[in-house]
């Protein structure tokens, strides 16, 4: 943990709060393994008191992931801290991250507490957390709209009570780079004994400034950056991990060549894996990981890049592990080659899940000549998702065309038993969805349907994303297959399974409050 800048990844906690990005235990574990390979210092795995699902995710990640520090979030009440402590208890290195708002706006309208009460609460919560672990982070929620003098008081009390990391969140994405840097400098200068703590920053992207603000804070002395893969997170998202990392790496002249400890070659796989798991694709022009991030379209640019890449390229696709179009496996590749490739991609699957993925790979290799890394990542994410589900797509047949009414016959496994039906629709996807809705008895509403090609080429696998909503709960399902109709059926079933999973998850009345 000697990296000059610690990378605190909150994809599994703040990121998971993005609409449609909630993940089940298996999905969180798959991502946590990838975050470990990426080399993050801290994984914030969830908010244990928020739900049984979050508690189990933090506990399971704590058991399995041994490299990074595993962190559980807690408000200040004693029960929150106890629950977080219980969840991180199996971790090799566990952290409790406790927070309370410090802005007058939050004190008056949300907490209905006085400043004195907030100060008492901070001292009590941090001391309690220190009773469970030596690694305690304190966050002053809405710090950037708080009175700076009160912030000094709040952080001083947290430090005295034993906090080792002091986090200054820009909770509502309100600050600007110059102002934020000034605040960090002021806090470091004014808090007695500030050299004993790591100052951390946590920026939201409401004004599109999350990365700029985080980097400005690093320039002012912050030594932990909280961020998420693909910048997912509450509302407009959090600071994007890949953008922060590549800015620091690409501009050592500006950031003094500070070490972040990140294996940048794992960035692209991390981004792809997250998109596969959540079904949320990044926009094509997204910095670093978007489809067009390294595509030179204008003739004058192409000419320059062909003559010397340095003319228009400030970093290479290879540096983030984007060696796309790499032929990896074919139909003659066997189990060993497949497992080796999974290991190289850092996709560790075992048992039933491995068998499922291998079968999918063989089927795909029969249908498609060339299989790329992206195909394998999509297959594995798809196979991992299927294992704890109530509904499974077994068979799907469609008749459709310009002279016949579209019809779909669908067989699902429902609670272990096969059930079939036939439905017609306006188009083949409509027919498939009607049949599935009938078999699952879902009351959800279809909000969005999107198709995306996993790789280039006419034989590319189709990745379908389906957004559905029921009683205000919105989820995204994902399905991958060389036949887009099958991918559509899988995506819809996956979304319905996610709703099912939420129904079974016990949520607090006010689960997040942040
Ligand atoms: O945005 C925020 O303030 C948070 C805190 C819990 C750190 O997510
Ligand atoms: Zn946040």
The domain that holds 408 is classified in CATH as: 3.30.160.270
Alpha-carbon distance values, 117 to 138, 156, 219 (Å): 16, 15, 34
Atom of ligand 1 nearest to the CA of 73: 6
Ligand nearest the Cα of residue 232 is 2
- Looking at the structure, do residues 32 and 159 belong to the same domain, yes or no? yes
- Looking at the structure, do residues 70 and 98 belong to the same domain, yes or no? yes
- Looking at the structure, do residues 218 and 311 belong to the same domain, yes or no? no
Packing angle, helices 52-64 and 25-38, rounded to 10: 40
Among the three residues 253, 278, 303, which one is the final residue of a domain in this structure? 278
State yes or no: pLDDT of 215 exceeds 70. Answer: yes
Is 27 within a domain? yes
Calculate the CA 50 to chain-centre distance.
Answer: 18
- Looking at the structure, do residues 401 and 455 belong to the same domain, yes or no? yes
- Looking at the structure, do residues 421 and 305 belong to the same domain, yes or no? no
- Residues in the ligand 1 pocket, defined by CB under 6 Å: 14, 99, 139, 141, 167, 169, 171, 202, 204, 514
Among the three residues 323, 343, 377, which one is the final residue of a domain in this structure? 323
Is 113 within a domain? yes
- Looking at the structure, do residues 46 and 178 belong to the same domain, yes or no? yes
| pTM for this model (two decimals) | 0.81
Domain count, the chain: 3
Is 346 within a domain? no
What is residue 407's predicted lDDT score, i.e. its pLDDT? 95
4-13, 69-78, 303-312: range with lowest mean pLDDT: 303-312
- Looking at the structure, do residues 310 and 423 belong to the same domain, yes or no? no
Is 369 within a domain? no
230-255 pLDDT per residue, tens: 999 999 999 999 999 999 999 999 99
Residue 87 and residue 63: Cα distance in Å, rounded? 10
Mean per-residue pLDDT of the chain? 90
397-434 pLDDT per residue, tens: 999 998 899 999 999 999 989 999 999 999 999 999 99
Q: What is the mean pLDDT of residues 43-68?
A: 96
Ligand nearest the Cα of residue 234 is 2
Tell how far the Cα of 48 is from the centroid of ligand 1, in angstroms: 15
In 221-316, alpha helices (H)? 241-250, 252-255, 267-278, 299-307
State yes or no: pLDDT of 388 exceeds 70. Answer: no
- Looking at the structure, do residues 209 and 72 belong to the same domain, yes or no? yes
The domain that holds 161 is classified in CATH as: 3.20.20.70
Residue 102 and residue 361: Cα distance in Å, rounded? 52
What is residue 312's predicted lDDT score, i.e. its pLDDT? 80
Q: What is the mean pLDDT of residues 167-182?
A: 98
Atom of ligand 1 nearest to the CA of 226: 7
Structural domain for 410, as ranges: 391-504
Q: Which helix (H) or strand (E) holds 398?
A: strand 391-401
| Side-chain half-sphere CA neighbours of 154 within 13 A | 31
- Looking at the structure, do residues 82 and 213 belong to the same domain, yes or no? yes
> In this structure, what are the phi and psi dihedrals at residue 425, rounded to the nearest 5 degrees?
-155, 180
Tell how far the Cα of 448 is from the centroid of ligand 2, in angstroms: 27
- Looking at the structure, do residues 53 and 154 belong to the same domain, yes or no? yes
Q: What is the mean pLDDT of residues 296-322?
A: 80
- Looking at the structure, do residues 239 and 305 belong to the same domain, yes or no? no
Chain position carrying tokens 């400890």: 261
Neighbours of 201 (CB within 10 A): 31
- Looking at the structure, do residues 191 and 262 belong to the same domain, yes or no? yes
What is residue 323's predicted lDDT score, i.e. its pLDDT? 67
- Two tokens, residue 324: 């796309």
Question: How large is the C-alpha radius of gyration of the chain?
Answer: 24
What is residue 509's predicted lDDT score, i.e. its pLDDT? 36
Is 110 within a domain? yes
């Amino acid at each position: 943990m000697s990296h000059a800048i610690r990378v605190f990844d909150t994809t599994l906690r703040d990121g998971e709060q993005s609409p449609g990005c909630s993940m089940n235990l298996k999905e969180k574990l798959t991502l946590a393994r990838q975050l470990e390979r990426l080399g993050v210092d801290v994984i914030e795995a969830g908010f244990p008191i928020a739900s049984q699902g979050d508690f189990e995710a933090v506990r399971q990640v704590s058991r399995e992931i041994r490299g990074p520090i595993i962190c559980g979030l807690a408000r200040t009440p004693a029960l929150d801290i106890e629950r977080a402590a219980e969840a991180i208890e199996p971790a090799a290195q566990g952290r409790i991250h406790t927070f309370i708002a410090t802005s007058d706006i939050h004190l008056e309208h949300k907490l209905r507490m006085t400043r004195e009460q907030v100060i008492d609460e901070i001292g009590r919560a941090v001391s309690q957390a220190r009773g469970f672990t030596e690694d305690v982070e304190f966050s002053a929620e809405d710090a950037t709209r708080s009175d700076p003098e009160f912030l000094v008081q709040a952080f001083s009390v947290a430090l005295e009570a034993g906090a080792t990391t002091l986090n200054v969140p820009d909770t509502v994405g309100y600050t600007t780079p110059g102002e934020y840097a000034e605040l960090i400098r002021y806090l470091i200068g004014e808090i007695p004994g500030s050299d004993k703590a790591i100052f951390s920053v946590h920026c939201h992207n409401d004004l599109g400034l999350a990365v700029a603000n985080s980097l400005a804070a690093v320039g002012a002395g912050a030594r932990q950056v909280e961020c998420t893969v693909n910048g997912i997170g509450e509302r407009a998202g959090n600071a994007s991990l890949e953008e922060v990392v590549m800015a620091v790496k690409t501009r050592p002249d500006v950031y003094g060549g500070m070490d972040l400890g990140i294996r940048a070659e794992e960035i692209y796989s991390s981004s792809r894996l997250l998109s596969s798991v959540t079904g949320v694709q990044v926009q094509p022009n997204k910095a670093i990981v978007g489809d067009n991030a390294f595509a030179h379209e204008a003739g004058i640019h192409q000419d320059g890049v062909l003559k010397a890449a340095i003319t228009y390229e400030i970093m290479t696709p290879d540096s983030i592990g984007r060696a796309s179009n790499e032929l990896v496996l074919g139909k003659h590749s066997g189990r060993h080659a497949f497992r080796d490739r999974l290991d190289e991609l850092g996709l560790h699957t075992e048992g039933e899940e491995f068998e499922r993925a291998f079968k999918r790979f063989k089927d795909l290799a029969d249908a498609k000549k060339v299989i790329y890394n992206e195909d394998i990542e999509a297959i594995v994410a798809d196979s991992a998702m299927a294992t704890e589900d109530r509904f499974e797509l077994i068979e799907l047949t469609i008749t459709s065309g310009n002279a016949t009414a579209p019809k779909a016959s669908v067989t699902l496994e429902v609670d272990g038993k096969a059930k079939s039906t036939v439905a017609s629709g306006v188009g083949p996807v409509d027919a498939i969805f009607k049949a599935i809705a009938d078999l699952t008895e879902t009351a959800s509403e279809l909000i969005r349907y999107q198709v995306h090609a996993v790789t280039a080429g006419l034989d590319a696998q189709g990745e379908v994303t389906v957004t559905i909503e029921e009683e205000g709960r919105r989820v995204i399902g994902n399905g991958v297959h060389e036949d887009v109709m099958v991918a559509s059926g899988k995506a819809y079933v996956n979304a319905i399974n996610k709703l099912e999973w939420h129904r079974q998850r016990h949520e607090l009345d006010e689960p997040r409050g942040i």
